Structure 1
Amino acid sequence: MKRNITLRHFRCFVAVANTGSFTLAASQLFLTQSSLTATIRQFEDAVGVKLFDRNTRRVAMTPEAARFKAEAERILSQFDGALSDLESLSQGRQGHVRIAVVASVTNYFLGDAIAAFRQSYPRITFSLHDAGSALVEKMIVNGDIDFAISTPHHGYDELVYTPLFADRYGVICDAMHAYARGARPLKWSDLDPAEYVGFTEDTGIGAHLREHAGKAGFFEQQHDEVSRTSSLHAVLRGGGRYSILPALAASSIVPPLAPGAAPGPFVFRELGSPRLAREVCLITRRLRSLSAGSELFLQYMRDVIRDKPVPAGVKVLGRRDGKARRDA
């Protein structure tokens, strides 16, 4: 059966669903009430589902309509956003980029990429979302953001995960902690689970460590937890605790020492036996093109990640012999 459903049907449905009134919805849409009613009836006939229960006092969504409402709003939002980007770019390279970036990438790469990008595209604006990797994946699936640079969590079939770099884990602790002493890599067997400060399960680091911890029963004992790398500073500052972080994430707390500089209050030591690394990926929606602005900014992000020197323990894909590779 051919279904002649248009965005007009979606807009009318969402307006009635949000206002609970054909009169108010018609006013918002600059339509006559009879025209709006006819459009909703066309929609119901086309899909074979009743969308609203009507009486003299109120209009209520049916259960089927209530389940469909979020999807209809998402489709309209994506269409309006894409059209707005296209029109703005054609009129002066304007647009809006919606992204989520893992905290370590934000601290180390994102600022450089935005600064370079604004030199060429000053009218393109950003929405930067700070969320755990589990929520980030859902935001891409729902169309709330254009892309993310994060760690895989659930691994949705409708998402594409393109690896950008690998990041080795190590132990971070106060400089007075016992784990701060020594030159050899620490072993998982050296670590006391009772002193560990972990990451919550909704974060990429937390999920990855729980799945790949190199010590049996490591997460069975109760321990402190945080959901952001920025919170570690306060928890570790009191001493007696340590955490396990990828090298790039640790660099925001333990920056590389300049020649002749005094050591800082925290120490980061490589963790081995077994050695463990995370993979940070570009995450996009399968079979869905990015907006023009997002495509432009993503290229700047790739360039910065490819070209900027990185801390020991970070391996950027596409580099050769430790140097940045430039495309011919």
Structure 2
Amino acid sequence: MRKLSLRHLRCFVAIADTGSFTLAAARLFHTQSSLTATIQQFEEAVGLKLFDRTTRRVVMTEDAARFKPVAERILRDFDNAIGDLQAIAKSQRGHVRIAAAPSMIIQILTPALAEFRRAYPSITVSVRDGGSDKIERAVLEGEVDFGLCSRLNNYPELDYVPILADPFGVIFPNDHPLALTNGPIKWSDLAGYDYIGLTGDTGIGAFLETHPELGLHEKTKLYDHVSSTNSLYAMLGLGGKISVVPSLAAQASPLNEFKFRELCEPRITREICLITRHLRSFSVNTRRILEVLIDTVRQARHLNGVEVILDDSCPVLDPPDGEEGAAGRPAVGIREAVASV
């Protein structure tokens, strides 16, 4: 049987994505005849037809459609592994890439980076913000070295280490009727108020959807939805409505202009996690910034109601046997980095 290679997989995925041999050939900088020959080799090797040609486009067969996610995962794993080797060899060229939820950037990452910059002024850092889905995908695709957000998709290829427990509460304008009350606020106390919800593709919205027992959507007058905390700020600014967010989000600008009170009976928290690709080897620079970040988390005293939940006894995730990191040092996994600080 003819040996298959990554070239065959890349050609297959390109045609599957574009639905066209012509477009796929242009994407891969191949001639169309070369691409056609590669797919014919693939089909002969596996003994299956992969594409059906119609008058307008090329369509995957059922067998090919089932195989496509496998091919994508193989290519992604290979590209990420090569990227890791290059990062170790070049020590990231003095650069670390981070993705984080906006509240984590303001409350945790900014002070950590200030401390890191004092110790390592020559290492540059790129930071991107976004919701949990965007952050998890960026880590999964190797676009960033690690992420800081709540768990949403729970990808098996990612490592999630809980670092903070972030309690939920109600947020409202300063002139809202809730501002005139004192004492604890229960979830049941929200009944009848006009409510702004976050959509299910956000970490906050998805988390609340997993707790229907709170009766949030049934007890409140659910009128509006937003897809980010920035949009929530604009909608709350119109007045007269409430929302439910975690404490970290409420303490971060611009939401910190509004009043926030933690909800009880029950007290609900979300886990903020440090997220990396499973069994990934860290560069020296990534390890350095993780050490500063974890130290910043453990020393955090200004986060009202937020609990540090790093487990000092969490098991060390050893790298694969014989694997070494930069400059001959043992490669470091996320749990080892956390446990070693």
| TM-score, normalised by the number of residues in structure 2 | 0.69
2:2, 2:41 within 8 Å by CA — same for their partners in 1?
A: no
Instruction: Check 1:72–1:147 CA distance in 2 against 1; reply closer, same or farther (3 A cut).
Output: farther
- Alignment correspondent of 1:195: 194
1:9, 1:39 within 8 Å by CA — same for their partners in 2?
A: yes
1:164, 1:316 within 8 Å by CA — same for their partners in 2?
A: yes
- Deviations along 1:93-123, whole A, 9 cap, x unmatched? 4287665422321332233445555664856
Match for 1:268: what amino acid? F
- Alignment correspondent of 2:147: 148
CA-CA distance at 1:310 after TM superposition: 3.6
2:102, 2:129 within 8 Å by CA — same for their partners in 1?
A: no
**C-alpha distance in structure 2 between counterparts of 1:225 and 1:163, whole Å:** 28
Is 1:180 aligned with 2:179?
yes
Q: Map of 1:1-328 to 2, 5 A cutoff?
A: 4-13=3-12, 20-21=21-22, 28=29, 39-51=38-50, 60=58, 62-63=60-61, 64-65=63-64, 68=67, 72=71, 75-91=74-90, 93-94=92-93, 100-114=99-113, 120=120, 126=126, 128=128, 130-131=130-131, 133-134=132-133, 137=136, 147-157=146-156, 159-212=158-211, 215-216=214-215, 218-219=217-218, 221-253=221-253, 265-286=257-278, 288-289=279-280, 292=283, 297-318=289-310
**C-alpha distance in structure 1 between counterparts of 2:50 and 2:39, whole Å:** 8
**C-alpha distance in structure 2 between counterparts of 1:211 and 1:70, whole Å:** 27
1:95, 1:124 within 8 Å by CA — same for their partners in 2?
A: yes
Specify the SS of the correspondent of 1:240: coil
CA-CA distance at 1:168 after TM superposition: 1.0
Match for 1:225: what amino acid? H
Could you say which structure has the greater relative contact order, defined with CA pairs below 8 angstroms and 6 or more residues apart? 1
Specify the SS of the correspondent of 2:225: strand
Instruction: Check 1:43–1:151 CA distance in 2 against 1; reply closer, same or farther (3 A cut).
Output: same
Instruction: Check 1:59–1:90 CA distance in 2 against 1; reply closer, same or farther (3 A cut).
Output: same
Instruction: Check 1:153–1:265 CA distance in 2 against 1; reply closer, same or farther (3 A cut).
Output: closer
Instruction: Check 1:197–1:33 CA distance in 2 against 1; reply closer, same or farther (3 A cut).
Output: closer
Specify the SS of the correspondent of 1:235: helix
CA-CA distance at 1:130 after TM superposition: 1.8
CA-CA distance at 1:166 after TM superposition: 0.3
Match for 2:230: what amino acid? S
Higher mean C-alpha deviation, range 74-83 or range 185-194: 74-83
Specify the SS of the correspondent of 1:9: helix
Higher mean C-alpha deviation, range 174-183 or range 217-226: 217-226
Instruction: Check 1:303–1:22 CA distance in 2 against 1; reply closer, same or farther (3 A cut).
Output: same
**C-alpha distance in structure 1 between counterparts of 2:130 and 2:112, whole Å:** 17
1:148, 1:284 within 8 Å by CA — same for their partners in 2?
A: yes
Instruction: Check 1:24–1:212 CA distance in 2 against 1; reply closer, same or farther (3 A cut).
Output: closer
Match for 1:314: what amino acid? V
Match for 1:305: what amino acid? V
CA-CA distance at 1:60 after TM superposition: 4.2
CA-CA distance at 1:271 after TM superposition: 1.4
- Deviations along 1:291-315, whole A, 9 cap, x unmatched? 6376565444433333343411100
Specify the SS of the correspondent of 2:304: coil
Instruction: Check 1:6–1:295 CA distance in 2 against 1; reply closer, same or farther (3 A cut).
Output: farther
- Deviations along 1:264-298, whole A, 9 cap, x unmatched? 85211121122221112234455x52563765654
- Alignment correspondent of 1:260: none
CA-CA distance at 1:217 after TM superposition: 6.0
CA-CA distance at 1:179 after TM superposition: 1.1
Higher mean C-alpha deviation, range 88-97 or range 244-253: 88-97
Higher mean C-alpha deviation, range 96-105 or range 234-243: 96-105
Match for 1:273: what amino acid? E
Higher mean C-alpha deviation, range 38-47 or range 59-68: 59-68
Match for 1:237: what amino acid? G
**C-alpha distance in structure 2 between counterparts of 1:235 and 1:291, whole Å:** 41
CA-CA distance at 1:25 after TM superposition: 6.8
**C-alpha distance in structure 2 between counterparts of 1:172 and 1:26, whole Å:** 48
**C-alpha distance in structure 2 between counterparts of 1:165 and 1:44, whole Å:** 50
Instruction: Check 1:174–1:117 CA distance in 2 against 1; reply closer, same or farther (3 A cut).
Output: same
2:11, 2:24 within 8 Å by CA — same for their partners in 1?
A: no
Q: Which structure has the larger Rg over C-alpha atoms?
A: 1
| TM-score, normalised by the number of residues in structure 1 | 0.72
